[in-house]
Amino acid sequence: MKVVGLTGGIGSGKTTVAKQFEKLGVPIYIADDEAKKLMNTSKVIKRKLKTLFGEEAYVNDVLNRAYLAQVIFNDKAYLQQMNAIVHPKVAKHFLRWMAKQKSPYVIKEVAILFENGSYKQCDYVITVTATIEKRIERLLLRDQTTVSKIEAIMNNQWPDEKKIVLSDFVIHNDEIQNTIQQVQATHKQLLIAIGDS
């Protein structure tokens, strides 16, 4: 079974694209969602995060995401340390999940697939892009946040140009009908590529 990494900058619409692949019968693993679950359920992760960030990392035994976001986006060293705690656990969880799937390929959606080097464990990579204006517009609607906070997150991620060079497929997600057609075409190309490999 092949692993297809799906990535893209914040607000590019990775989840929208993942849902379209899911409609085609492709199993989807959303690494960020699983990471959040593990950060709330794994005693080992909880202990390590409290050591790193202090007791306020959790409120009533639930991850204090607002506090963590504030700390890590102002300090890349904290972000790297947190990722070093969480990502290995997510990687193990993914392998257990993948063993249960029955499909020519699975999609692993990871926001920082290139930044954390996990693209090297993928057979193919799809990068989702959208204009900066479109991404900011979506995030302002979705997260009730500010442009400066969005830009701070974007500055922690690789630019699209750098990701595209290392990608096998690129889906431009500005208009949903166009996106659906690109997903269907990519799915067909992947099935052909996997059949030939």
Annotated binding site for ATP: 11-16
- The set of residues, in sequence order, having a beta carbon less than 8 Å from that of 183 and lying 6+ positions away, is 17, 20, 21, 24, 171
What is the token pair recorded at 42?
């794994």
Tokens encoding 151: 């830009």
Do 65 and 55 touch, CB atoms closer than 8 A?
A: no
47 DSSP assignment: H
Any idea which residue has 């504030």 for tokens?
70
The Cα-based distances of 38 to 34, 42, 46, 119, 134 in angstroms read 6, 5, 9, 21, 31
For 49, the token pair is 């995060």
Residues in the annotated binding site: 11-16
* Amino acid, res. 159: P
